[in-house]
Amino acid sequence: MSTPRFLTLPPGVSSEQIETPLGSFAVLEALPVSGVPERWPALLVPGYTGSKEDFIAVLQTLAQAGRKVIAVDMRGQYETPGPDDPAAYSCAALGADIDALAAVVGQGEPVHLLGHSFGGLVARETALNGAKLASLTLMSSGPGGIVGPRERMGRVLLAELPEYGLEYMWSNRLEPEALAAGVPDDIVAFLRKRLLSNHPTGLVAMAHEVLGAPDRCAELAECDLDLLVLYGEHDDGWPPVLQAEMARRLDAECVVVPGALHSPAVEAPETTAAALTRFWNAAESRLLQHQHG
């Protein structure tokens, strides 16, 4: 569970709703504090049990490089409602949602897409669907289903959630963890509100997806897309060695964020934002040269 360090929206960042043909999505929209967005926009997709607030520490810095940046709650997450149908939460269905969002955000232009953790598996589907993308970043994500300590937590959640419910999961597992980690009271209150706002069917369906996702690197490598694999040096999700191997298989740029764990945008926001801006600008230049060449 990504834990934001603050919740106050920085200058240039606002809470909005984006309407698409597939529904309405709650987002945080960041615009340059000075000047206008001259570069192609970026769309950031959170992980399992996460939300748009996971990116709050990087939004202003990313926007200041001259682009509109949108962080979204996926269907069934926090402030975006979701249906009771488990099929709505498959990677393919969520990927189609992100495709629809990218079309609205881009307004005809390509969009830089980033998926964090489970969001990386979703963003990969969007890319494989042929969405109009300028680049794809897989942040702290992997080639297939999650492995390691977070896999075990996912299986515990799958076993307990249908029987005991979200309030039990919060009181017995997530709240004690947050308090033991010294998370401030206002952030603990947010984490509780966020967890209990998730659609329970969505949480169970997404857990199945993040645990059982197939390896689709071979298909993604064929996509003719600028790819970045970015992860924390001490990631406790997919092992760093597995992510490095994925980057090699994808012929992707690879950035390891020193000192960071599974949430580089929270744990090392400036380093992460600088790496993303550099990668996005380079990808954009290559695409524009290609178009004009």
Predicted confidence band of residue 36 (pLDDT cuts 50, 70, 90): confident
Does 105 fall in a domain?
yes
Does 7 map to a domain?
Answer: no
Residue 290 in this model has a pLDDT that exceeds 90: no
Which pLDDT does position 62 carry in this prediction?
98
Asked, for residue 3, whether it belongs to a domain, the answer is no
Residue 8 lies in a domain: no
Domain membership of residue 106 (yes or no) is yes
6 occurs within a structural domain:
no
Phi-psi region of 12 (alpha: psi -120 to 50; beta: other; left: phi over 0): left
Pairing outcome for strands 23-30 and 13-20: antiparallel
The mean pLDDT value of the chain amounts to 96
The pLDDT of residue 187: 96
CATH number at residue 240: 3.40.50.1820
Residue 33's pLDDT is what? 93
* Distance of alpha carbon 116 from the chain centroid: 3
Alpha-carbon distances of 137 from 35, 230, 234, rounded to whole Å: 26, 7, 19
- Look at the alpha carbons of 18, 129, 41, 187 in this order and tell me if their dihedral is positive or negative: positive
Q: What is the pLDDT of residues 61-79, one digit of tens each?
A: 999 999 999 999 999 999 9
Strands 69-72 and 23-30: antiparallel
| Number of independent structural domains in the chain | 1
In a domain, 5, yes or no: no
Domain span at 23: 13-291
State phi, psi for 43 to the nearest 5 degrees.
Answer: -125, 125
Burial of 108 (0-12, 13-18, 19+ CB in 10 A): exposed
C-alpha to C-alpha distance for 199 and 212, rounded to whole angstroms:
20
Domain membership of residue 118 (yes or no) is yes
pLDDT at 226 over 90: yes
Tens digit of each residue's pLDDT (9 = 90 or more) over 229-242: 999 999 999 999 99
Residues 39-45 have a mean pLDDT of 98
Which residues are registered as beta bridge partners of 114? Answer: 44, 137
Q: What is the pLDDT of residues 97-135, one digit of tens each?
A: 999 999 999 999 999 999 999 999 999 999 999 999 999
Does the global pTM surpass 0.85? yes
The pLDDT tens digits for 161-205 are: 889 999 998 999 889 999 999 999 999 999 999 999 999 999 999
- Percentage, residues of the chain above pLDDT 70: 100
